Every structure is written in structure tokens, then in C-alpha cells.
Amino acid sequence: MKGFFKYTILWVSQNLSIPFWTIGHIHLMTTVYGDIYEIIASLGMNIIVAAGFIIGYFEDKNNKK
């Protein structure tokens, strides 16, 4: 189950990072956050993408040794 969770995080971060950040930044420029759910969702998506980049970096670093 741990491997599946790790794979899911990597897949999401690699395939959805540009849409998350592009739409997120456009949304941040045009919207005033008044709803806590929007803030939590935005933060959650960015954390998932960041975690995937970190996991991918360490896997790549270990594979090159």
C-alpha cells in the first residue's frame, strides 16, 4: 500500500503540477480568498506537488549512484 501511495503522489505531481500552479496563480490574481475551503484546497494541491518533486528527486538521486 505504501508503494501505491508513493506512486500516486509522484503521478499527480508529474502530470498535474502545471495545471495546478497555472490555474492556481491565475485564480490567486483574480480572486480574494474569503473561503477557508479554497485556501485549504490550494494549499493541499501545492503540498502534493511539492511532495512529489521531493520524492522524485531523492529517487533519481539514489538511482544515479
- Residue 27 above 80 pLDDT? no
Range of the domain at 32: 7-64
Q: Is residue 2 part of a domain?
A: no
Q: What is the rounded average pLDDT of the residues 13-37? A: 70
pLDDT tens by residue, 33-65: 667 777 777 788 888 888 888 888 888 888 876
Place of cell 505504501: 2
Determine the Cα–Cα distance for residues 51 and 62; give it in Å rounded to an integer: 17
Q: Is residue 12 part of a domain?
A: yes
Higher pLDDT among residues 37 and 12, named by residue: 12
Q: Is residue 18 part of a domain?
A: yes
Query: What's the structural domain count of the chain?
Result: 1
Q: Is 62 exposed, middle or buried (0-12, 13-18, 19+ CB in 10 A)?
A: exposed
- Residue 26 above 70 pLDDT? no
CA distances from 58 to 7, 16, 18, 55, 65 (A): 14, 20, 21, 5, 11
Higher pLDDT among residues 3 and 24, named by residue: 3
